[in-house]
């Protein structure tokens, strides 16, 4: 569906954002349930609770 057709049907045009904070992860053990990745995972979940945000993800360890 084109952007124009989406707007005619009442959908807003999507927006994408990429944030790359200056940090390094311990590659051998980066559990999403423990620091240092947990705060980032928690923030992704908080963002996805917003009805205006379709998806939020954090790709730790995949540089």
What was the pLDDT predicted at 6?
Answer: 66
Q: How much is the CA Rg of the chain, to the nearest whole Å?
A: 16
| Pairwise CA distance, residues 21 & 58, whole Å | 11
pLDDT in tens, 5-62: 666 777 666 778 888 777 766 666 667 777 777 888 899 899 999 988 888 887 766 5
Residue 63: pLDDT above 60? Answer: no
Nearest to 16 by CA among 61, 60, 55, 63: 55
What was the pLDDT predicted at 27?
Answer: 64
Letter string b/e over residues 3-28, b meaning 16 or more CB atoms within 10 A of that residue's CB: eeeeeeeeeeeeeeeeeeeeeeeeee
């Amino acid at each position: 569906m084109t952007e124009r057709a989406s707007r005619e049907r009442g959908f807003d045009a999507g927006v994408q954002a990429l944030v790359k904070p200056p940090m390094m992860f311990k590659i051998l053990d980066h559990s999403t349930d423990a620091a240092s990745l947990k705060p980032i995972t928690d923030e992704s979940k908080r963002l996805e609770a917003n009805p205006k945000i379709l998806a939020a993800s954090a790709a730790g360890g995949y540089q």
